[in-house]
Amino acid sequence: MIKINRPCEYTDIFREYKIILDDEEIGKIKSGESKRFQVSQGEHTIYLKNGYCMSNKIKFYAIKDRCIEFDCGNSMEGWRTFMAFIYMTFLQNKYLWINRVYE
């Protein structure tokens, strides 16, 4: 099982991010949501997609009866808000982010 948390953010507040697991969309996540998905045991790759922008890709190994948690969001915080055009045109693969949460 995996759990994905997305904080409530001003930027993209009305946009859903596609959750891509092993190159297949498994769901969408809205601003302020947390979602859980069942995944098979073994190695997987996860990332987010929003139109033509995407996040970094993370490889992980899922184990039966264990939840792996991720946080996600966009890079448009603080002063970066003024760079939105650059992120959406030249840094498309850095506009969104996903990180594994370690206990």
pLDDT tens digit string along 6-48?
998 877 788 899 999 999 999 999 999 999 999 999 999 999 9
In the chain, the number of structural domains is 1
Instruction: Find the CATH number of the domain harbouring 36.
Output: 2.60.40.1120
Would you say 49 and 18 are in contact if contact means Cβ atoms under 8 Å apart?
yes
pLDDT at 81: 55
CA–CA distance, 34 with 52 (Å, rounded to integer)? 23
Which domain, by its residues, includes 86? 2-101
CA–CA distance, 57 with 97 (Å, rounded to integer)? 9
Q: What pTM, to 2 d.p., does this model score?
A: 0.84
pLDDT at 95: 76
Cα–Cα separations (whole angstroms), residue 89 to 51, 83, 93: 12, 10, 10
